[in-house]
Every structure is written in C-alpha cells, then in structure tokens.
Structure 1
Amino acid sequence: MKKIAFIFPGQGSQTIGMGKDFFENSKIAKEMISKATQRLGIDFEELLFEENDNLGKTEFTQPAILLVSSIANAIFKDKYKIKPQFVLGHSLGEFSALVSAGAIDYLDALELVHKRGLFMTEACAGAGAGMMALVGLEDSIVEKICEEQRKSGKKVWAANYNMDGQLVLAGLKADLESLVDTFKEAGAKRAIVLDMSVASHCELLRSAVENLKPYLEEYLKEEFVIDVISNVTAKPYNTKEEAIELLSEQLVNPVKYKHSISAFEDKVDVFIEFGNGIVLKGLNRKITKVPTLNVSDMDSLAKTIEALNE
C-alpha cells in the first residue's frame, strides 16, 4: 500500500459553489453542513452555494474552507481506509489537518477558526493592513529588503514561503505599495499588492495571539492520532501543549510550506490535497517530484482512489 500524506489548503482557495457536488451526492456532506449551520448559526448552504459578500470576509472564509476540506477528507476516509504518514495544511489549512489528525472535532474547529478570523480582522481594523505577492526573487533578497525597510520604520514581513521564487509579504498596505519598485529593481518579475484588509502571519496580529489561546485550550484534544507538520517550524507535533503554542505563534510567524514539503517528501509516495481547488497541487509541482492527487468533488475522489489502487 502506498505511503500518503494528507494536505489542506488555506485562505484564497475559496469560490462560490465549493462543496456543492459533495452536498448533492453525499449524506456525509449534507449532515456535516447541517450540523455546522446549527453550531455556528451561519447558513452554510447559502454561504457556500449562493452569491454573497460574506465568503470573502475572513471570519466566514475560514470556517467555509475548513468545512469543505473536512467534508472531502471525511468522504475519502469513508471510501478508502488508509492512515497517512502525517498531515499538514497551509496556514488555515493546519486547522483542517488537525481535524483529520483527530486533534479536534470538526464542529469545534469551525467555531475556533471563526473566532480566529474575527480576532485577525479586529487586530487589523483601521490599520491599513495588506499583503503582497512576489514572484522571481530569492528568499534571502526579500528578507534583507524587508529587514532594511523595518529598520527605517516600515512594517513589512515575509508571510508565506510557498515555493522557490514565490513569496507572500504582509504588513501595512501603504508600506507594501511603496516597495513595489524596490522589489522590481531587485529583480522581481511581479510585485502585486493583493486585495486584502488582513495581514496574516506577521506582528500586526500580535493582539490576536492571546485572544486565540483560550479557545485552543478549550477545543483541542490531548492526544493526536497522526503527526501534524507545523507551519511555524516545519517539524511534526502531536500533543495539545505543542499545538497551543505553535498555532498561537502561527498567527505572527511565516508559513513554511515549501520547507515542510521538502523536509518530508522522502517519507511518502503521494500527497493528497483535500478541499476546494488545486492550489497546493500546483505548488507541489514546483517543490517536489512526489505526485499530488486531489479530492475536491466526487469525480476527483473517484480518480484519486483509482490512482491509489494502481
């Protein structure tokens, strides 16, 4: 049997209509969405399947993505019995990974990431926060520029290490905008300020850290069934104590996604991405030669199971 790892996408993977194929074809999906609606008082059928403005708001985006990822994973587990070597997620996706690892119930996780989204929004309210995508620069060059700019008073940090030559920055939008030409002069092929009002994985979220901790304490279980790879350290953890510290620090530290994949690619034969779209599958093509399958609807579920049986 193949050795596999489960991986879960983060914010930015959402689209209207995500999870609808699961909902229309799976009792598991219908039940999970119904229970989520009851628990949070959010109409998830409306949020996921109908045109609305809420799906783009962090406090709604996060539970929506986690719910669809957890549904995809639950349906897969129902159809195919296999224990992964480890699980990991990109940013918010680490919470979906925790659900898969048995570290938290999915309903508790939905409540948790809804709170997380609110705390992130509150921390950045009125601050003029933003994020920027950079393509074509080495990490060390970006880090050096950010460090120099912070010394001169600007608030900019590396936030997501997605793959070689692709980094996302976080900080004050005005400061990021002022550095577009600086990064291009340094050799960036693209430097694009994103349409976001929250600055993830940087010091602007420091106030959210202490707000989140009590909920981590309340909802996380003591023991995990599977190791989770931390975004902060790119190393495995499997206890509640570690999780509370690492998930709190994840808010203000960069996501080491490419480091995590590279560090553990030799432990598996295949990665499987669970949730909407194929964002991580696309990144993995540039990071590793280990293939990535995906489960985003019933058709991709069938194809993934077929590939695992080959």
Structure 2
Amino acid sequence: MSKAVIFPGQGSQNVGMGKDLFENSAEVRALFEQASEILKEDMQKLCFTENAKLNSTQYTQPAILLVSFSVFSLISPKLKGDIAFGLGHSLGEFSALCASGVLDFASALTLVSQRGILMEETCKSKAAGMMVVLGLEDAALEEFCAKKRNLGLSVWCANYNGDGQMVLGGGREDLQSLEVELKGLGAKRALMLPMSVASHCPILEGMCKEFRVLLEAALCDSFAFPIISNVNAKPYNTKSQALEVLANQLIQPVLYKQSIRENDSEISGFIECGGSVLKGLNKRLSQKDTLSLQTYAEIQDFLQKD
C-alpha cells in the first residue's frame, strides 16, 4: 500500500532546524542558497542561530517550508509512484503542494512569506492570539465559543488537532479572559500560545481577497499526488479546487483530526517531513504508523531500507 506524506505547520520551528541536513547534503545547501536569494534573507542564520525573526510569522513560514521540502527532496526518489496523498497542518498544506509540484519551490517560498506578512498586518490592529485547550469535547467548545460570540467576544475553534485537543483563535484579551472559566468546565489545560496572529478564524477575513490573487498567480494545475484539504478533509487535485479551499483556509478551522481519520484506510502509513509534531498527534488518531524524518541519518536509514 502507498504512503501519505505529511508536513508540519507553524509552531514546529526550532533553532538549528535543517542544520544537520545542510551540513551533510549538497542538495539541501543548494535549496538554502536558493531560498536566501529569493527571500533576500540569510536562511542559514535564520534557521541555525538564536534570533527573534524565527518566531516572526513572515519568516517562520518560509523557514518551515524550506526544511520540510528539503527532507522531501531527499526521500522523493524512493517514494516515486508510492504516494497516496499529501497533507499538511495549516502552513504545511503549502509544503505539501510544493512537494506535489503544484507550487514550484521559488513560488512556494514567496507565497508563504507573503501569507505571513498579510497575517501579521491583518492581526496587528486586532491584538489577536491563539490558545490551546486540552480535555474538552469539540461540541462543548463549539457551543462555548458560540455563546461567547453572542456576548460580543471574538473567539472561535481554529484547529481540531485530536480528541480533547483544540486550538482557539480570536482576540488575545478575550481568550485570556476565558482561561479560568474553561478550566471550570473541565479543561485540563487552557494555555495562550506565543503567537501574535490568530489564524483559521474570521479575524483574517480582510486578507483573503488579496491572498486569492497571489494564489491564482502561483498555483499550477499539475499534481503528482492529491492533497487533503484542511478546510473539508477531502482530497483535491485541480488548480480550481486548490484555489477555492486555500483562499478560505485562513478563515476556516483546520480539520486535522478529520483529515487523518477519514483518509487513512487506503494507506500503509505516514511519513512526516521535518519535525515530529504530527507524529505525536497521529498516535491518537490512527493505528497506522507515522515515520518522522528530521536528521540526515534518519533519512539515510529510510533510503537504505527495502
């Protein structure tokens, strides 16, 4: 059976990401050099050294895509014809599109950098944020947020990551005001995330029209394998479908839990390209194994196995 290739999103970044690959692979060094030239940013410095930029959305997103695509580039010769679908978490959907050939590498880097800039600009005046909530059912959180919106608060369910694991998006002060109440409802944890944006909720509606124009110019209509949409958990494989789901992705919740459970019956397992965040989520969502590939040694081991 075929494999699914999966790609992490924002929050998976860390200092030193991709360094081992860079030091051991001429192909990865070339990708870093190309990325540095395209973005007019030293990607080695950005990814390998302590700096505030790595956690700034406009830099975080291309950095994660660069490392994810580097991993995929190294393993893709072994996977040709054996990929059932690609799937990414939020930003990771763009890494999946790049891997499938729907976005070329240069266009993908530019697009996600512009995406990050638009997100930061849109959220700047709205004091936005995100909060992870553990231990409550989806329906209870959906009802809770709806009631709070009726009272004038800006809070939405943004990431369906697993049973009892949800990320909320909205106004930072509104979210912070709900921490004690959520714990009173039975939440094991209600923790603000270190982010200055609120993705996958209506706060980003103002950027959708401009981002759609950028998408239309960047996307092509050639899919090496279908992509599972964050918006509806269904596969797509045409430019017109991609344009519709991606234009709405930033104002709709990420249905990661549903994407895994509704699409794993025809595959033998998952391969995570860069990071191990999704492997952790998948343990609770699927009985199929997830292989996380981050280091050059892990990749070489994978390539040498039958």
The question of a shared fold, defined as TM-score above 0.5 by the shorter chain, is answered with yes
Give the CA deviation at 1:175: 0.6
Contact between 1:293 and 1:304, CA under 8 Å: does it hold in 2? Answer: no
- 1:42, 1:201 → 2: CA distance? 27
Give the CA deviation at 1:82: 4.4
Find out whether 1:166 has 2:165 as its counterpart: yes
Contact between 1:104 and 1:221, CA under 8 Å: does it hold in 2? Answer: yes
Residues 289 and 143 of structure 1: CA distance in aligned 2, closer, same or farther (over 3 Å): same
Counterpart in 1 of 2:279? Answer: 281
Give the CA deviation at 1:83: 2.8
Paired residue type of 2:209? E
Give the CA deviation at 1:195: 1.8
Query: Hey, which bits of structure 1, 4+ residues long, moved more than 6 A?
Result: none
Fraction of identical pairs, as percent: 47
Name the TM-score, length of structure 1 as normaliser: 0.96
Counterpart in 1 of 2:106? Answer: 107
Paired residue type of 1:30? R
Counterpart in 1 of 2:297? Answer: 299
Give the CA deviation at 1:305: 3.6
Counterpart in 2 of 1:190? Answer: 189
Contact between 1:133 and 1:168, CA under 8 Å: does it hold in 2? Answer: yes
Contact between 1:158 and 1:170, CA under 8 Å: does it hold in 2? Answer: yes
Counterpart in 2 of 1:98? Answer: 97
- 1:59, 1:166 → 2: CA distance? 26
Name the TM-score, length of structure 2 as normaliser: 0.97
Give the CA deviation at 1:80: 5.0
Residues 27 and 82 of structure 1: CA distance in aligned 2, closer, same or farther (over 3 Å): farther
Alignment of structure 1 residues 138-157 onto 2, 5 Å? 138-157=137-156
Counterpart in 1 of 2:232? Answer: 233
Find out whether 1:28 has 2:24 as its counterpart: no
Paired residue type of 1:285? K
- 1:52, 1:61 → 2: CA distance? 11
Counterpart in 1 of 2:7? Answer: 8
Deviations 1:99-156 (A, max 9, x none): 1111010111000000000000011012110100000000000000000000110000
How many residue pairs align between the two structures?
306
- 2:58, 2:127 → 1: CA distance? 18
Counterpart in 1 of 2:220? Answer: 221
Q: Which runs of 5+ in 2 are unaligned?
A: none
Contact between 1:80 and 1:305, CA under 8 Å: does it hold in 2? Answer: no
- 1:160, 1:83 → 2: CA distance? 29
Deviations 1:239-275 (A, max 9, x none): 1111111111000000000100000111111100001
Paired residue type of 2:292? N
Paired residue type of 1:296? Q
Query: SS of 2:145's equivalent?
Result: helix
- 1:110, 1:146 → 2: CA distance? 34
- 2:227, 2:293 → 1: CA distance? 19
Residues 270 and 305 of structure 1: CA distance in aligned 2, closer, same or farther (over 3 Å): farther
Bigger CA drift: 137-146 or 215-224? 215-224
- 2:114, 2:8 → 1: CA distance? 19
Query: SS of 1:154's equivalent?
Result: coil
Contact between 1:6 and 1:274, CA under 8 Å: does it hold in 2? Answer: yes
Q: Which runs of 5+ in 1 are unaligned?
A: none
Paired residue type of 1:122? E
Counterpart in 2 of 1:48? Answer: 47
- 2:23, 2:177 → 1: CA distance? 47
Give the CA deviation at 1:9: 0.1
